[in-house]
Amino acid sequence: KAGVTQTPRYLIKTRGQQVTLSCSPISGHRSVSWYQQTPGQGLQFLFEYFSETQRNKGNFPGRFSGRQFSNSRSEMNVSTLELGDSALYLCASSLGGSGVYEQYFGPGTRLTVT
């Protein structure tokens, strides 16, 4: 069974631009969660989607948004990029809600904002 895939793997953007990252979960998994990893803050939860609905949201500004499609694929968008948004963005999928089921991570998208 194929694992979680994320595209693109690397991205360089300029301050003020916006970016869209994509995540395809493991086949049959309906929950997708997004995490941000930075050297200073570690791994932090952004949001979780289940059956196209956002179920939980972390403590991030409204510039960070996401959505999930009917095939469970998910996208996250960051608008008006800031230097501090440079990070590794990780997507995780699970059968159901992340509170109970094991989560599996994709390889990540490394975003650099200049």
Partner 1 sequence: GIQVEQSPPDLILQEGANSTLRCNFSDSVNNLQWFHQNPWGQLINLFYIPSGTKQNGRLSATTVATERYSLLYISSSQTTDSGVYFCAVTPYKLVFGAGTILRVKS
Binding interface with partner 1 (CB under 8 A): 33, 35, 37, 42-45, 48, 56, 58, 88, 90, 92, 97-108, 110
| CA 93 – CA 57 distance, rounded (Å) | 16
Closest among 97, 99, 92, 101 to 4, alpha carbons compared: 92
Pick between residue 16 and residue 96 the one whose CB is nearest to partner 1.
96
- CB of residue 108 vs partner 1: minimum separation in angstroms? 5
Pick between residue 79 and residue 103 the one whose CB is nearest to partner 1.
103
Cα distances (angstroms) measured from residue 1 to each of 4, 22, 29, 33: 10, 19, 12, 19
Pick between residue 20 and residue 95 the one whose CB is nearest to partner 1.
95
